[in-house]
Structure 1
Amino acid sequence: MTPQAASGGCFQKISSGQQFSVAIKSDGTLWSWGANAFGQLGYPTTDNINVPKQIGTANNWKSVSCGVAHTLAIKTDGTLWAWGNNFYGYLGDGTTVAKNTPVQIGTATDWASVCAGSTHSFAIKTNGTLWGWGYNLYGQLGDGTATNRNVPTQIGTATNWQSMGAGNSHSFGIKTTGTLFAWGVMTKVS
């Protein structure tokens, strides 16, 4: 039998990073647990937490995505938030400094979805545009360069992005036409 991680409420969405997890309950509250060396749990400490603990008091969280040691989330008001490790700027706040509590990224209120890769990040706006930031040595941001970005940067001009997936040094995207795109570098598994 699989053990139950937490009781006392309905969890609706969850994402896991490297040795940590973040979840949203049906009441819109945000919870996390696990490893926390870089503040990826969103608490004002870097202590590890072994049971789900609420992050702040906000009850309007909509979606969440975890990278190796950073977390991205969107609130129901369309604002974008990030916390955790930020070595290559993958939080998107214009710095490379880790944050151990959620910080709002920019002032836009039209973010629709987020996707955290290992050390890079993506978000799609309600107008279907794709934005990326973070580590880009292998072209995993898809902007035609190998330049790291520490703020959300629009990727191309298309306005029909539907969903994203991101790995260690590669990325995938699906457009509303059902077409699949890939970029970056995938290492050979032998």
Structure 2
Amino acid sequence: MRFLIPLGLATALIVPATAFAEKADKSVVPVPETLGFVEWVVMNDTGLRLKARLDTGAKTSSLHAVNVEEFKQDDQKWVRFQIPLADHKDHPITDDSTIDHEEVILELERPVERTVLIKRKGAPSQRRYVVMLDFCIAGTNHKTQFSLTDRGNFSYPVLLGRRFMKDDNILIDSADSFIAKKDCEYMNLEELADKQQANIVKADGAS
């Protein structure tokens, strides 16, 4: 059965301490967060945990998705797509689980941000939908654009590109993986199945 993450002299001009604080704040550069070239991410609306490759060679992030279908909602272009857990069995499963990854298929709906044309060597060009998604990595929530594509033949269902790294001040250690100091909360497989059974996860998180 399938179910459908500072003082001076007394005579000197007195300057309010807040002025020094404001000046200092302007010169402070946020310390970038360093992550490995592979880390865990949790898709916030679903609680699904997936392996993500952080790729400086890609600009836009991408997410494994199948059966992508366009539809109209309030005169706006939307897409409906599925994430079958059978294609990437990384999501945690308990020892006494009564279900397995093949039984869970998550279905989401999102408004289309744009489309991109991907040129492929030795194959026809491919047009992909791009949607905005919330996710958690290293214990911090982020939002970025993801192109939807079938990554079933790739090792990682999620790819995070330069747009995310630049916007969120991320550095990559290409020699290491899974070095994030904080974790993101996620659901186990049974909880996912219970919550998502026969439900569509919409952009506002409502089903």
- Shorter-chain TM band: under 0.3
Choose 1 or 2 for highest CA Rg: 2
TM-score by length of 1: 0.24
TM-score by length of 2: 0.23
Structure with the bigger RCO (C-alpha within 8 Å, sep 6+) is 2
